[in-house]
Amino acid sequence: MTILSINHLSARHGLLQAVHDFNLKLVEGETVALVGANGAGKTTLLRTIAGAHPAFSGTISLNGIDITHLKAHSRVSAGLALVPEGRRLFPEMTVDENLLVAGANARPGQWNLETVYKAFPQLVSKKTTLASFLSGGEQQATAIGRALMTNPSVLLLDEVSLGLSPIAVDGVYESIEHLIKTGTTILLVEQNLDRAMAVSKRVVCMLEGNIELIENTANVSRERITEAYFGMRRASRQEGVSS
């Protein structure tokens, strides 16, 4: 069943069009990786889906309901949760408090303090620690846990490994694999192509605001994704036309 439908979505930064006519459907329980170089439009796309950035045109539907013009907090109530780049925790609140704030008006569902700590065991000993004293990996785990406390239908993850040590990234991705096993639907923005391919069913590569490639992960090579990532396929097509 399609749970998130993005149809002909475009978004702008002033006069600059950052996302062009984007189309994507996510099936319930699916993990889709969104990759591309810096400036490809990935973060703008996630922010537009989440309601933090206005759509210029097109529609976004969640569970069959048009949410294109809903405010961000109303999209959370409808079942959409964004873990933004940089985590943006409340630094003077403890881990418990950060989680409970998000869960105060949560939708019904499987996620609560007990299940979040089960998914992120590295946080159990940090429940009463201020977020500002957590390591980068612990902050990222808390940020994902906070989003889960709203019991979303779709979880949007933006650059979860950015700035983390390899060991911290391992811990975060172990938890993401646990989320996938619980049936969580995830749209994941990730610079680390190997990590993205390892957990996703499909991979979408963006280039200059457009979809350059969309394929099942099992059927596409890393080389082909890399070519799309750097626009090599587009350059070859343009050379063919010009010649």
- Domains in the chain, CATH or no CATH each: 2-242 (3.40.50.300)
What's the average model confidence in pLDDT over 212-239? 82
Predicted model pTM: 0.91
**pLDDT tens readout for residues 96-135:** 999 999 988 889 999 999 999 999 999 999 999 999 999 9
Tokens of 107: 């939708």
Best mean pLDDT range from 62-71, 77-86, 230-239: 62-71
Mean pLDDT score of the chain: 92
d(CA 59, CA 231): 27
Residues 6 or more apart in contact with residue 176 via CB below 8 angstroms: 144, 157, 160, 186, 188, 199
What's the average model confidence in pLDDT over 199-220? 95
What's the average model confidence in pLDDT over 238-242? 50
